Amino acid sequence: MLSKLIGDKRRWRSYKARVKQLPPSYRTAVDGIERYLMHFGALDADNAASLFEDVADLFERAAADGTPIREIVGDDPVEFVDALVRNYSKGGYVDREQKRLTDAIDRAAEEEGSAA
C-alpha cells in the first residue's frame, strides 16, 4: 500500500536519507511538506517519487546557499505545495477526470444550444 504512495522503496529510502542530512529547520519544513503530500498529494507513485526527490533537491540547494525557508515556500506553504502537486500531476487521474468533467459540460451545453 505504501509503495502506491511513494513509489520504489529504494528511491524512498534514498530520499529519506537525503532529508535526514538537512539542517534541522530545513528537515522540519520538508517533513511538514511530506506529511501534507501523504494526505493531499493525489499523485501516482512515479510522480510522487519524483516530487519528493525534487523537494529534497530544492531544500538541499537552499540549505547550501543559506536561503531562508520562507523564501522557498513563500507566505502560503499550502499554495506552494499545491502548486508543486499541480506541476507533477499532469496526465494523472485527477487531471483526466477534470478534463472529462469539462468535456461533458461542454457537450451538454452544445446539445442544449442546438436543441433550442
Tell me the C-alpha distance between 52 and 6, whole Å: 8
Give me the number of domains the chain comprises: 1
pTM of the model: 0.72
In a domain, 13, yes or no: yes
Over the stretch 14-63, which tens digit does the pLDDT of each residue have? 999 999 999 999 999 999 999 998 887 767 777 888 889 999 999 999 99
Residue of higher predicted confidence among 8 and 26 = 26
pLDDT of residue 3: 47
Residue 53: domain span:
2-89
In a domain, 69, yes or no: yes
In a domain, 45, yes or no: yes
In a domain, 114, yes or no: no
The amino acid present at 15, given as its one-letter code, is Y
Question: What CATH number did the domain enclosing 37 receive?
Answer: 1.10.1900.10
Average per-residue pLDDT for the chain: 85
Contact by Cβ (8 Å): 63, 106: no
Tell me the C-alpha distance between 69 and 74, whole Å: 8
